[in-house]
Chain A
Amino acid sequence: MTLTQSDIDTEVNDLQNAYDKAVAGGAPVQHHPPRDYAPYRSSVLRHPKQPLVAVNGGDPETVELSGPVFGPTDITEIDNDLTVQHQGEPLGERITVSGRLLDRDGRPVRGQLIELWQANASGRYAHLRDQHPAPLDPNFTGVGRTLTDDQGRYFFRTIKPGAYPWRNHTNAWRPAHIHFSLFGSAFTQRLVTQMYFPNDPLFPYDPILRSVTDESARGRLVAQYNHDLSQPEFSLGYEWDIVLDGPSATWIEEGR
């Protein structure tokens, strides 16, 4: 059976209404998507049915309260500029993306690794499995890495990725997005997510974005256009702060 966009819309809206009703009735706000989210078809056989088992983070010997560290040997100087990794300039709208990496107490995550990957301006990934018939760009791979500075700030220069089709249902299109991978001070704070661009008309149709059923949480995945970050006659600026969830050993050290 081929699923249409309107089939998916019905499922998405039913789940949205159920969530909104639950929260109105006093249920807790969900900041993350449920792993069981049928409108994203690939999730059906890939989520656990048993509840997660709680591990008490109060034990300082818990291995996951610490985490991997990275340093200047793990990146090269041009890793955060995706526009200079080839001989020529990539096609597309040149942008910068910057912001801060924070924990839930608002403290900067310093000297930590941020990785990103994205489609090119035509909406195609430099990946063999991506057979979307849009052109590859010989001057763009779409992979970046950086380390945060002492204020937790990061900075990337890249091009704006294009929207692309996928096979979740008929006429499924992903809004333009950049994939991000983030580490905190603890393995518990690990995060992989996607950053979107403001006012994308595809937002309501995308079951991946809509899997975050909380509207304000969804909003936190959308970067802001910041004219002060735009560089004259060169690039447009977007700002996106990232807040990592989960306990860390520093909580215990500080007596929380």
Chain B
Amino acid sequence: MPEQLLPTPSHTVGPFYGYALPFPEGGQVAPKGHPDQITLHGHVLDGEGDPIPDALLEFWQAAPDGSLKGAPGSMRRDPVTGGYLGRNGTDFTGFGRVATDADGHYALHTLPPGNAGPPYISVCVFARGLLHHLYTRAYLADGPQGADPLLDSLPPERRATLVAQPGERRTYRFDIRLQGEGETVFLEFQ
């Protein structure tokens, strides 16, 4: 094994990323008006169950056909004004970025992921107060089921924190609890 470089340490995203990282339609991963659009949404909560209004969530997922290649153009820009054009309506970038609102709520509009095994959307959580981001996964409760090494390794009450429950109008509820009762399962990739 070649000698490894030592990694650059993580730091918190802090309170002031709001004018730098979020971008218009960051949560509109599905082409607008697409009939298969689903909405993943929920609250991000702290150890006292209070909503976190300054969390930033990022999402990465397979395209409906299972592709993990993604595509550029999540934050397409206008070279004339420097503003944002939105996604181009044809390419599926697989990437979303949404800041929680004043109620600690977020919503991601996307297409159902087509990864092998039970479908899931990978979630990366940043927040003021969080020194190192956290990964979790939102598995769609009504998607194709089957063996999943992560889900299968967890006791039922922990496993439940990774399952997004279907609601009306193709919505899925996925709350993220950073600490305490019902604490979300967070992941470490090895």
- A residues touching B (Cβ–Cβ < 8 Å)? 31-35, 37, 40, 42-50, 52-57, 59, 61-78, 85, 102-106, 115-117, 119, 125-127, 129-130, 141-143, 179, 181, 187-188, 190-194, 208, 211-212, 214, 216-218, 220-221, 242-247, 256
Contacts and interface: CB of A to CB of B under 8 A. Distances in A.
A31 B16 contact: no
B126 to A, nearest CB: 6
Contact of A190 (B2, B93, B124): B124
Given A68-B70, A74-B73, A221-B8, A55 B180 contact: no
Given A33-B9, A43-B130, A115-B21, A48 B122 contact: no
Interface string B104-119: 0000000001011100
Contacts of B76: 73-74
Given A76-B77, A220-B8, A48 B13 contact: no
Given A55-B188, A63-B62, A105 B46 contact: no
Contacts of B58: 190
Given A55-B187, A117-B16, A192-B11, 7 more contacts: A45-B129, A57-B190, A69-B69, A103-B5, A117-B19, A126-B19, A212-B11
Contacts, number: 251
A184 B7 CA distance: 12
A59, A119, A214, A245: which has the most chain B beta carbons within 10 Å?
A: A245
Nearest to A188: B189
Contact of B6 (A31, A54, A78): A31
A101 B94 CA distance: 23
Interface residues of B, number: 78
Contacts of A245: 7-8
A35 B130 contact: yes
Nearest to B121: A63
Contacts of B150: 53, 55
Interface in B68-92: 68-79, 82
B73 A73 contact: yes
B95 to A, nearest CB: 4
B183 A49 contact: yes
Contacts of A220: 6-9
13 contacts: A32-B7, A32-B10, A45-B179, A46-B128, A54-B188, A56-B149, A64-B135, A73-B73, A115-B20, A115-B21, A127-B15, A130-B15, A256-B1
